[in-house]
Chain A
Amino acid sequence: MPHIYIDGRKIETQNGKTIIEAAIENGITIPHFCWHPELSVSGNCRMCLVEVGLPKRLPDGNFEKDSDGNLSISYIPKLQIACATVISDGMHVKLDSAKTIKAQEAVMEFLLINHPLDCPICDEAGQCKLQEYAFNHSRGESRFVETKNKKPKRTPWGPNVMFDAERCISCSRCIRFAKEIAKQDVLSFVQRCDKVTIRVSNGKRFDNPYSMNVIDICPVGALTSSDFRFKSRVWDMSFNDSICAACSRGCNTKIGVRNNEILRIEPKTNMHVNKYWMCDYGRLSMLPKLNTGRVLNPRIKQNGQTEDATWDEAIAYAAQILKKYKPSEIMFIGSGKSSNENNYTLAKFAKSALKSGNIDYYKRIDESFKDDLLRTNDLNANALGCTELGVAPANSAFAIENLATNIKSKSIKAIYIIDEDFDLNKELVDEILKAESIIIHSANHNIITENADVVFASSTFAESEGTFINVAKRVQYFAPALVTKENLHRMGMKLSRLDKFGAHNDRWTQKELRNSRPAWRVISQLAAQMSYNFGFIKAEDVFKEIANLFVSFKSMNYKLLEKHQGITLGKGDSPDPVIRNYESYYMKPN
């Protein structure tokens, strides 16, 4: 194993690595703009200049030592860029020498010459690499008295990305991303010197499914999201870790929330699943459903009208409905969009409590959605969880494909649905509405909830904790990001400053909280009403039972899942090692 010394600290590393990689693996961050671990090295920002040297060798092959017996190092007179310099055994790197610091300050001064003083209006402010380095590695004042260059400030590159040419520091991260990751090589530098800017090729748009990742990797605010633009300052939001529910890849995400409203979803680094990326569909498609059209309270249908009810009323009414039918006349429908906890509790309720094998979930296979990078053909985030936990019909005659015929033939009279809207597939929904009784857990209002007998306001993955199993059989944990009446006092939830310190009489706390609950809790309350006691008090209890009952979940628990960023099924005893993730910004609001 070769080793190098960074500021005298000995670091074990492998041959072929660059200095910056070796440093980051050991928790040392060398200032950089253009380098990114997943992109090729371009070495054009010059921020990672460091002093590099090797020990002097005497003609006889031994190392030269000074009078104190230390190795004498001969440093290369010109500084080297750490991102492109490959290590060699015994290499010495100086990060804190006067020469390195002077170089960093000079680079920063040059970058700031034409960078506008836009921080007050820039969405990147608060998580900006340039801001951080201006604070940590800069002289703190400019000697530039001339006027700054003017460039176009609002150029849309594509449907989701807006480009501000003035702020660009020409690091080329976005160009390399387009070429190497998104495989849509439409970006390039044009012009030279201080006129240099980035342009989309003539007649093209930067509209690939992963375009918004350039917003995250842009070290400054040159690239901003057309959707999020100016909605909130970074420091006004809270970021809770979650899992994307758009497809079965299960990309790790951070949900940005302010005032109990999801403003943006951004990728969280998980080297086993999505690395640093996430598709635009995952970022944008879920926001409207999560924020608007929500079922705020449980509702029951009486005299042909659905009206808000209390939880006790709704649960009692649902129990009354279920008791009317033979278990074999009830169809239970789980959801591939819902957590393992919810699906397991439903399966337990159907199979062990009511002794009905009529349980299945709605499948969403779309081959056109699939691509080579992250997107999969299964739009159900937790399809594997459903099958794994027994959301499957005992008799294939009662599979979901035959639901319509079963309803017609009256062999199914009541339907119990959790967190499923069947994509509002008209043919299927029309048939479902013909059933005698419908009980549904739903987060959003739709045609089914309008006609259902009981509607339980359901907490989505953004409001509850739970687990998903992704396409690669990885069990991943997600935590709530939004506050509901149920999880109001949950410990450890990150809240933005306003949400945390707002008093009950502040304007921004006036919004009524959703009175929603996750399906597992409602089902276990319903079961208790029908005198089956599940003993579930928190989501963790459900998962504990899953881990005890199913071999593939053995030894898993929430803490472990969080620590290892997910564990593959059956590997509860030997999870993947915890990796130190590369973070582009270290000053995060929370």
Chain B
Amino acid sequence: MNIEHNIERERMTFWERIYLPEIARGLGLTFRRMLRPKMTRQYPEERWEPLGSYRGRPVLVEEDSVERCVACGLCARVCPALAIEVQASETELDKERFPIKFEINMLRCIYCGFCEEVCPEEAIVMSKDYELVFTSPEAGIMDKAKLLVPIAQLQDRLEFVRRYR
């Protein structure tokens, strides 16, 4: 194959083609890098507080000690991983309908945030919770008791959702 254009000779100067000075330059770069301050965080001791835009574990908003959710099922429908299962039932409250069962399978959840985006009631939001460890597949299925979070703890995210929706 005879390549006539954009060959090495055209692209590089003589010193670059010798290669050794460039290697030295590269080594110099990494050496300087070694002396820079490190950005590692000592995780279990030092924790990171995410911003409002962080998409952690999806949770249900609890307002006046009752969930906002009306079990419309849109989150379950839009969920690309089929992580959400909702069963609606009737309530005497004004909202008429509430989820008698609301389960998110955290083994399936991919943290895409579609459920939050589609929710007409701002009832499901992505929390800042990123520490999700469980020891059995069953423990990964979170029910309403685990999902309900008081609205006061979710102000950052609700504000973010409202601003960028």
Contact = CB atoms under 8 A, between A and B. Distances in A.
A236 B88 CA distance: 12
Nearest to A226: B90
Interface string A497-533: 1100110011110000000000000000000000000
Nearest to B69: A120
B105 A121 contact: no
Given A119-B120, A120-B120, A121-B70, A508 B95 contact: no
A233 interface: yes
A489 interface: no
Given A153-B96, A505-B137, A120 B74 contact: yes
Nearest to B83: A506
A121 B77 CA distance: 15
B149 to A, nearest CB: 20
B82 A501 contact: yes
B117 interface: no
Contact of A121 (B76, B85, B96, B137): B96
Interface in A526-583: none
A154 B72 CA distance: 18
Contacts of B97: 120-121, 230
B154 interface: no
A419 to B, nearest CB: 32
A117 B70 CA distance: 13
B11 to A, nearest CB: 51
B90 A507 contact: no
B85 A507 contact: yes
B116 interface: no
B76 A502 contact: no
Interface string A255-297: 0000000000000000000000000000000000000000000
B96 A154 contact: yes
A121 B82 CA distance: 21
A233 B141 contact: no
Contacts of A117: 120
B70 A120 contact: yes
A506 B96 contact: no
Contacts of A229: 90
B105 A230 contact: no
B103 interface: yes
A508 B85 contact: yes
Nearest to B85: A508
Given A230-B88, A230-B90, A498 B82 contact: yes
A502 B88 contact: no
Contacts of A235: 73, 77
Contact of B72 (A120, A231, A497, A506): A120
B61 interface: no
Contacts of A506: 82, 105, 108
A120 B96 CA distance: 11
A120 B85 CA distance: 16
Contacts of B82: 497-498, 501-502, 506
Given A119-B120, A121-B95, A153-B96, A507 B103 contact: yes
Contacts of A125: 72
A233 B76 CA distance: 10
Interface in A331-365: none
Nearest to A505: B137
A236 B73 contact: yes
A235 B108 CA distance: 21
Give the residue among B88, B105, B108 with the most A Cβ atoms within 10 A: B88
Contacts of B90: 229-230
A233 B95 contact: no
B121 interface: yes
B71 interface: yes
Contacts of B95: 121
Interface string A229-248: 11111011000000000000
Interface in A457-504: 497-498, 501-502
B105 A120 contact: no
A233 B99 CA distance: 12
Interface in A152-183: 153-154
Nearest to B91: A230
A233 B141 CA distance: 22
Contacts of A231: 88
Nearest to B119: A120
A154 B95 CA distance: 12
Interface string A81-124: 00000000000000000000000000000000000010111000
A87 B71 CA distance: 47
Contact of B141 (A232, A502, A507): A507
B85 to A, nearest CB: 6
Contacts of A236: 73, 76-77
Interface string B56-84: 00000000000000111110110000100
A120 B121 contact: yes
Contacts of A498: 76, 82, 85
B95 to A, nearest CB: 7
A161 to B, nearest CB: 15
Contacts of A153: 96
B89 A230 contact: yes
Contacts of B76: 236, 498
24 contacts: A119-B72, A120-B74, A120-B97, A120-B120, A121-B72, A121-B95, A154-B96, A229-B90, A230-B71, A230-B89, A231-B88, A233-B73, A233-B77, A233-B88, A235-B77, A236-B73, A497-B77, A497-B82, A498-B85, A501-B82, A506-B82, A507-B85, A507-B103, A507-B141
Q: Top 8 nearest A-B pairs by Cβ distance?
A: A120-B72, A121-B97, A233-B73, A230-B88, A121-B70, A120-B120, A120-B70, A121-B96
